[in-house]
């Protein structure tokens, strides 16, 4: 994309923590032995009932943030709270208020699906929640697998069980770390229907990290974008999209774009995306393609998506670092 079409990311100014917030990251730094700075002054909060997206490239610090939130690691400086409880000073209470779905498939091979949920409930001191376990099993499409041993399940079914384990104690804050990575479309739809219902009906706050940006665009009310341990953008999804609200000419071609057109395009295999502000800009692009000898197929006009915003902001922040 051309430089004039990109979005200038606005690093948000730190706000005073809201005592009613579900999750608060307050000027959080994390430095590992050897001097590597995984997080550098991360500052944002998530309100009860909010569906919040945390996006960033690999190594941006997303999983480090979740580890701090879950008490699996400690910040070098700064403060993290869950429903007002400090994750270090009041770890036990803070952890009970969280339901965390990790990236890794971790399971006990000696239990059935239902037994694993009963066992997980016990970790949080919850008993007599059979009706809720049945509802979770049904909601996640696991009812017919309740008696199956965990070893017998496919990877997608094991992923569903991880989600169920995170929900058995009815936490007010749900953390989903790449929950649909490598799973089928059916699971993705089932999961989002159930989680969205909990978000709407029970007012659960949801923190989602995902590389499927169309999921974040569809589900999240607000989004923070991380790069190299810093928040480089933080705003509502609608405002992020409005800042880059333009038309996209999308087409397929087997030809190589001339250098002047290639500098303005985003190319993925045979698919090319080029921005155009209006009908006149569209006609000019098509004329330049014809003059450049580029044969186009499957032409369509689309709107800017969150993926475009994300790539622009990541590119702008990289240029700022180089400068």
Q: What does the pLDDT look like over 273-313, one tens digit per residue?
A: 888 877 888 888 899 999 999 998 888 877 777 877 787 78
Q: What does the pLDDT look like over 232-260, one tens digit per residue?
A: 999 998 888 876 656 778 899 999 899 99
Neighbours of 108 (CB within 10 A): 12
Is the predicted pLDDT of residue 225 greater than 90, yes or no?
Answer: yes
Calculate Rg over the CA atoms of the chain: 22
Q: What does the pLDDT look like over 5-38, one tens digit per residue?
A: 434 444 455 556 667 899 999 999 999 998 899 9
In the predicted model, what is the mean pLDDT of the chain?
A: 85
Helix, strand counts (H, E) of the chain: 11, 14
Is the Cβ–Cβ distance between 191 and 179 less than 8 Å? yes
Residue position matching structure tokens 């730094």: 29
**Per-residue model confidence (pLDDT) at position 3:** 35
- Beta bridge pairs of residue 234: 224
Domains of the chain listed by start with CATH number: 3-241 (3.40.50.300), 246-303 (3.30.70)
> In whole angstroms, what is the distance from residue 65 CA to residue 174 CA?
14
> In whole angstroms, what is the distance from residue 11 CA to residue 179 CA?
27
**Per-residue model confidence (pLDDT) at position 13:** 52
What is the phi-psi region of residue 121: left when phi exceeds 0, alpha when psi lies from -120 to 50, beta otherwise?
Answer: alpha
**Per-residue model confidence (pLDDT) at position 2:** 39
Neighbours of 131 (CB within 10 A): 8
Q: What does the pLDDT look like over 168-194, one tens digit per residue?
A: 999 999 999 988 877 778 778 888 888
Q: What is the pTM of this model?
A: 0.78
**Per-residue model confidence (pLDDT) at position 190:** 85
- What does the pLDDT average to over 111-120? 91
Contacts of 236 (CB under 8 A, 6+ apart): 221, 222, 223
């Amino acid at each position: 994309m051309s430089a004039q079409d990109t979005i200038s990311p606005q690093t948000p100014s730190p706000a005073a923590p809201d005592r009613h917030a579900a999750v608060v990251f307050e000027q959080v730094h994390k430095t590992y032995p050897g001097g590597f700075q995984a997080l550098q002054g991360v500052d944002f909060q998530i309100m009860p009932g909010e569906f919040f997206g945390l996006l960033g490239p690999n190594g941006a610090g997303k999983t480090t943030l979740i580890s701090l939130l879950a008490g699996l690691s400690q910040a070098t400086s700064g403060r993290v709270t869950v429903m007002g409880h400090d994750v270090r000073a009041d770890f036990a209470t803070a952890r009970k208020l969280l339901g965390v779905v990790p990236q890794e498939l971790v399971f006990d091979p000696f239990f059935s699906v239902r037994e694993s949920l009963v066992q997980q409930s016990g970790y949080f001191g919850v008993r007599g929640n059979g009706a809720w376990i049945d509802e979770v099993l049904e909601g996640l499409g696991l009812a017919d697998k309740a008696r199956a041993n965990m070893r017998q399940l496919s990877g997608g079914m094991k992923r569903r069980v991880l989600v169920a384990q995170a929900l058995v104690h009815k936490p007010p804050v749900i953390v989903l770390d790449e929950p649909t990575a490598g799973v089928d479309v059916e699971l993705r739809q089932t999961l989002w229907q159930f989680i969205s219902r909990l978000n709407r009906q029970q007012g659960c706050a949801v923190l989602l990290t995902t590389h499927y940006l169309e999921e974040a665009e569809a589900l999240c009310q607000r989004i923070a974008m991380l790069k190299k341990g810093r928040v480089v953008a933080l705003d509502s999804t609608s405002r992020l999209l409005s800042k880059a609200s333009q038309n996209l000419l999308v087409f397929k071609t087997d030809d190589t774009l001339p250098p002047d057109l290639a500098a303005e395009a985003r190319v993925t295999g045979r698919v090319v995306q080029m921005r155009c502000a209006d009908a006149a800009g569209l006609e000019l692009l098509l004329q330049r393609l014809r003059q450049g000898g580029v044969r186009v197929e499957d032409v369509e006009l689309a709107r800017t998506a969150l993926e475009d915003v994300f790539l622009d902001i990541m590119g702008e922040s990289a240029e700022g670092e180089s400068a």
